[in-house]
Structures are given as structure tokens and as C-alpha cells.
Amino acid sequence: MSRRSKASAGDEKAVRKAAKKAAKAEQKQQKRGRQLWKLIATGSALLAGVVTARALDATWKTATGHSAPTKPEHPDIGTRESLAWAALSGMAIGVAKTFATRRAANYWMKSTGRLPPGMPEEAYTTVGKAKS
């Protein structure tokens, strides 16, 4: 093997090693981003759910004069009341969690300049086209 071919083989090996190291660093960064996004999205949804549940309990007590049903399936609670509570609390908490997660996604996009991990780009463009 000539001196030139040994040098180019060494260079190729160094380039491959650097590329492998860069790919590994990128994977680590992506994993960290996915974990951070899960933490932000879950935390915001959880906080929104708790705050909404407490607000609903206070609103229910103000509107009806008694505490919200903690066990709507209990036979002593009227059917209308249990169904009203289930519908109201389910809708309100679902809306609050969706709103909080959307706000978190907007914050993520403004902070990183990219969509949150796991959110496909084509789904976003499809929604954007539907609005037009």
C-alpha cells in the first residue's frame, strides 16, 4: 500500500468516525427533545385538568347549593344530575386539556422553530390547506 492510499484510508476512517459521532449526538438531542416535549405537554394538560376540575366543583356548588357528585354512579344521586355532571365535567376538562396542549405546541414552535416531536409535518399542512 502506498503512502497516499494509507493517508486517504486514514482520512476516510476519520470522516466516518466523525459522521458516526455527529449522528449519535443528533439522536441524543432528538431523544432529549422528545422527553422535554412529553414533559411540557403532559404537565400543561395535567395542570389545566386540575384547575378546571376545581373551578367546576366551585361553580357546581354555587349553582346547585351542594357539592358536585364525586361518584355520579351512586344510586342516591339523581340520573339527571349525574348525567349533567358527567357531560359538563368531561367536556370542560377535555377542552381545557386540548387548549393547554395547543398553547404548549405553539410555545414549542416559537422556541425551537420546529413542530413538536411526533407531530407529522404533512398533518399540519393538510389542516392549513383546509382553512384556506
Residue range 35-83, pLDDT digits in tens:
999 999 999 999 999 999 999 999 999 998 888 888 878 888 888 888 8
Q: Is the pTM of this model over 0.75?
A: no
Q: Tell me the C-alpha distance between 129 and 132, whole Å.
A: 5
Residue 123 lies in a domain: no
Of the candidates 90, 131, 124, 91, the residue with the CA atom closest to the CA atom of residue 106: 124
Residue 80 lies in a domain: yes
Domain count, the chain: 2
Which positions ≥6 away from 36 have C-beta within 8 Å? none
Domain of residue 18: give its range. 8-43
72 and 104 both lie in a single domain: yes
Give tens-digit pLDDT for 74-108.
888 888 888 889 899 999 999 999 999 999 999 99
